Amino acid sequence: MFERELSTIHNASHDSAPVAGTYECADQQHGAGWASVKLDDLLGLLGVTTDRRFGDVTFPMRKVKAGETLHRAGDKFRALYVVRSGFFKAVSVDASGAELVLGFPMTGDAIGVDGFDSGRYTTDVIALDISSVAVVPFAQLSELARQHPSIERLLYSLFSRELVNKHAMFWLLGTLSAEARLASFLLDLSDRFGRLGYSRFAFALRATRQEIGSYLGLKLETVSRTLSAFAAAGLVGIDRRQVTLLDVARLRRIVDPSAERAKESTVRRQIASAMRRPARSLPVQAQFAMAA
């Protein structure tokens, strides 16, 4: 996760293609036409399964340039956005202009759920790379939800994911050391890339160390020092924007040292239990074999 780029992902041995076809789209605000995406494809992208097909339901695509804002805090909530390609950062800006990074939405993520309750978006969402999103007007989505239970479940799922992500972030910031936070961040990205069909071990990012530090509640110097320590220890390889996870098991132990001990303890208990098992519980043939 330095000057890394949350964007183009490279397989360790060859360039990876996206899981689904890329939509060539244009931003209507720039005077070009929009391409569209089917609801069926969006459901697959969001990881939602349904028995029903919605072949006649489509949504427009919007292209967002690197550095362009998708929406700003305070804008009226009108639509959800599903990231089709590219990467974003969601930030909150205080009265002094200080920026706090709250997340890095990427392919398959929904943006804008935070605006549902108040009717206005609560964050600025800025593209870190040339990106494309499906624009899903919430009024249209609500109407579909009234007609089809599967779409209603999709809405519940999106709200649930938002809550789970917030709880995970509270845990990360409240309990983990700087090293564990950074290791957790790398492992989370590895899992997210893997679910999209990309390499879990080699990827490039658009987020700077400053942005990563803001997201993890760490100073820039701490992020840089920790990454250097990971590289020196052989946990990761860093080549400009490219990051390679070299020892995932050790990264996981940094996040949860007790997990490996618990695993070893379980194995030891199983072995001890087997050794205490009386001989009569074994098949007769096995008893003869042991006696021999």
Q: What is the pLDDT of residues 27-84, one digit of tens each?
A: 333 333 358 999 989 888 888 777 778 878 999 999 999 999 999 999 999 999 999 9
pLDDT tens readout for residues 64-75: 999 999 999 999
Neighbours of 26 (CB within 10 A): 15
**Domain map (residue ranges) of the chain:** 28-249, 256-291
- The Cβ of residue 81 has, within 10 Å, a number of other Cβ atoms equal to 24
Rounded CA Rg of the chain: 24
Q: Which of 29, 83, 95, 93 is nearest to 59 (CA)?
A: 83
Q: Tell me, what's the pLDDT at 33?
A: 39
Q: CA of 146: how far to CAs of 21, 50, 60, 142, in Å?
A: 30, 16, 21, 6
Residue 268: per-residue pLDDT: 52
Pairwise CA distance, residues 194 & 173, whole Å: 24
Task: Write the DSSP assignment of 92-150 as a string of letters.
Answer: EE-TT--EEEEE--BTT-EE-GGGTTTSB--SEEEESSSEEEEEEEHHHHHHHHHH-HH
**Bridge-partner residues for 163, per DSSP?**
none
Q: How remote is the C-alpha of 81 from its chain's centroid?
A: 16
The pLDDT tens digits of the residues spanning 138-153 come to: 999 999 999 888 888 8
E strand or H helix at 202, and its extent?
A: strand 202-204
Residues 251-268, mean pLDDT to the nearest whole number:
70
Architecture per CATH, domain 28-249, reads as: Sandwich (2.60)
Beta strand pairing status for 88-93 and 99-103?
A: antiparallel
pLDDT higher at 118 or 270: 118
Beta carbons of 238 and 2 less than 8 angstroms apart: yes
For residue 263, CA distances in Å to 179, 180, 256, 257 come to 22, 19, 12, 11
d(CA 207, CA 214): 11
Percent of the chain with pLDDT over 90: 52
Q: Tell me which DSSP letter residue 17 carries.
A: P
* pLDDT-above-70 percentage for the chain: 77
Beta bridge partners of 28: none
Structure tokens at 232: 């020196």
d(CA 123, CA 93): 8
- What is the model's pTM? 0.75
In the chain, the amino acid numbered 150 is S
What is the predicted pLDDT for the residue at 3?
39
Contact status, residue 9 vs residue 203, Cβ threshold 8 Å: yes
Distance CA 216, CA 124 (A): 18
Amino acid at 176: L
How far apart CA 168 and CA 183 sit, in angstroms, is 14
Task: Select from 240, 228, 226, 129 the least CA-distant residue to 184.
Answer: 226
* Beta carbons of 122 and 73 less than 8 angstroms apart: yes
In angstroms, the CA 99 to CA 94 distance is: 7
Which is more confidently placed, 199 or 4? 199
Match 């956005």 to its residue by tokens. 81
